[in-house]
Amino acid sequence: MLALYLSHIGLMRLDRERAALALARQGAQSESRPLTHLAGRGGAWREGSRDIAAGAIRLRLLEAAVDRRLLVERIAIEPAGQDATAAIIARVTVSGPEAAVVRYVADIERGRPLVRFADWQLRRSAAGDGTVRFDGHAASIWAGR
Amino acid sequence: MTTPRFRCTALRRSGATEVRIVQAVSADAARERLIAAGLEPDSIEALGPSLIDGLSGRDWKLRHYLPTFSMPRRPAMLAIGLLASMPFTVAVGSWSLATLAATQNERLANASASSRIGRPFLSDSARRDLAGRMSRRTVSEIAARLFAVLPQNASINGVSSDADGRLKIEIDTPDPDRLRIALAVDPLLTTLSEEGQLRTDDGAIRVTLRGAAM
């Protein structure tokens, strides 16, 4: 009876470990899949390190805002999760005349490598001075060299 | 062993011939038995065993007619031993294999973690999430479409898109019906559904529209 009980426990454990191993192997395979196809040709940032890529993205967001004479309230790179070091997300909050803000967003989205805004809002200023405020998350892909 | 039989032919006084089968140890003994019975045998012939004699002489037990098996004693004991030890074998085998799989799993996890340091990595869920973000309509495209169809006396109070790409647009206009007709020109904006209307401080009507993920 003891041997049967131990067999049962052993087989259950074997089943569990094999499932975990299959999952880990699948994860390892997905790791080796290229990231460039997510952003298309020339769409991913190819800097040597994530920090350099994040710095370049921040600089592009900042320079475009200065060029359009917008008020930069916040341009900050958000910390990366362990499972998504290739995704660089920047929180962007700028305000200014409506046409300038819209052109700023268009400049950022038109440039290469790609930057795409997700979870964003464009809202008229409460002060009633004709300005608008844009707040959003700019997503980019860092694919390494 | 059956007693031999003899066919004896005797002539009666009446002249008729009589044939008798006599069981006796020999032909002479058969003749003596017939004489004792008052008959004078002419001929005495020995007969072979009859069919009934043949059948009655056999041992008719069933076991003689069944096929017999004989198994060597040592292999039989070996087979029984193997069967009895099977649960132990399975227990030891399954625990060993499970330990081996756990070790491989740990090694793979360590190798994967060390290879990720300083390198771009996306888990499956993060990859799906990022692919969704990168493939959505751009803010500038949505703004351009809106500005292209917006009536002259209408203005945008706010446009937003949530994490799933669902749009929410607030437009101030004195004439919501005219706004609805204007938005119907664009195939993207015509999919938006009106969520509500609200009168603003300056007398305009704020129309809120929501759309599916795009």
Checking if the pLDDT of B29 tops 80, the result is yes
Domain that holds residue A130: 2-141
CA angle B90, B96, B99 (to 5 degrees): 135
Q: Are A143 and A111 in contact (CB under 8 A)?
A: no
Residue B88, chain A, CB below 8 Å: the answer is: yes
CB A136, CB A117: distance < 8 Å: yes
- CB-based contact A116 B134, cutoff 8 Å: yes
Q: Is A119 helix (H, G, I), strand (E, B) or coil?
A: strand
- Say what percent of chain B tops pLDDT 70: 89
The reported pLDDT for the residue numbered B59 is 63
Q: Give yes or no for a contact between B120 and A35, defined as CB atoms under 8 angstroms apart.
A: yes
pLDDT for B130 equals 85
* B64 in contact with A, Cβ within 8 Å: no
Count: domains in chain A: 1
Q: What is the mean pLDDT of chain B?
A: 84
A83 touches chain B (CB under 8 A): yes
At B111-150, the pLDDT tens digits run 777 666 677 888 888 888 888 888 888 999 999 999 999 9
Q: What is the pTM of this model?
A: 0.62
All residues of chain B having their beta carbon less than 8 Å from the beta carbon of residue A105 are 138-140, 143
Instruction: Find the CATH number of the domain harbouring A33.
Output: 3.30.70.60
pLDDT at B57: 61
Report the largest interatomic distance among the alpha carbons of chain B, rounded to a whole angstrom: 163
pLDDT tens digits along B39-90: 888 888 888 777 776 666 666 666 667 777 776 778 888 888 888 888 888 8
Dump pLDDT digits (tens) for A49-99: 889 999 999 999 999 999 999 999 999 999 987 778 889 999 999 999 999
Nearest to B88 by CA among A119, A24, A7: A7
